[in-house]
């Protein structure tokens, strides 16, 4: 799997997060919650990927990575943006490595893909694992890049 776009997008997120200057949102997630979400989501991807490698057929269900309480807990446990970003750098590196090492059979594995957004099911269907992983890098991460950019305080 070509991970160049995934790698570029994660680099953009990390640079934005390290650059700081975020304002508190009038609604939605803070910059810290966005980074906590991405880290939680990476960990979920890695757990599903490891299960596939063991020959299991796990489901992907992102509910825990979008729950306000979970994100707040992760932000508090990290103790600040710097630690959150360090964690994201580690999980994203592992996810990129996972994506690059997928065998054809692993990439073709059928996974129930259940995505929650704003309290509602956005996606609930079976997809190829390789397509789900690729979507993380070229669809999901860019959404959060735009979200972080929108949170940067104007001078």
Question: What ranges do the domains of the chain cover?
Answer: 4-150
pLDDT digits (tens, 9 = 90+) for 66-117: 999 999 999 999 999 999 999 999 999 999 999 999 999 999 999 999 999 8
pLDDT digits (tens, 9 = 90+) for 14-59: 999 999 999 999 899 999 999 999 999 999 999 999 999 999 999 9
CB 84 within 8 A of CB 73: no
Task: Write down the CATH number for the domain with range 4-150.
Answer: 1.20.120.450
């Amino acid at each position: 799997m070509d991970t160049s776009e995934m790698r570029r997008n994660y680099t953009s997120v990390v640079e934005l997060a390290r650059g700081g200057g975020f304002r508190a949102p009038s609604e939605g997630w803070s910059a810290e919650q966005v980074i906590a979400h991405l880290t939680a989501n990476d960990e979920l991807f890695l757990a599903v990927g490891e299960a596939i490698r063991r020959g299991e057929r796990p489901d992907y269900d992102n509910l825990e990575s979008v729950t306000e309480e979970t994100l707040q807990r992760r932000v508090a446990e990290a103790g600040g943006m710097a630690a959150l970003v360090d964690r994201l750098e580690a999980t994203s590196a592992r996810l990129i490595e996972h994506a690059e090492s997928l065998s054809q059979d692993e990439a073709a594995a059928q996974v129930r893909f259940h995505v929650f957004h704003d309290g509602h099911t956005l996606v609930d269907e079976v997809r190829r694992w390789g397509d789900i992983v690729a979507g993380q890098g070229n669809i999901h991460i860019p959404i959060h890049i735009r979200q972080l950019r929108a949170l940067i305080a104007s001078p």
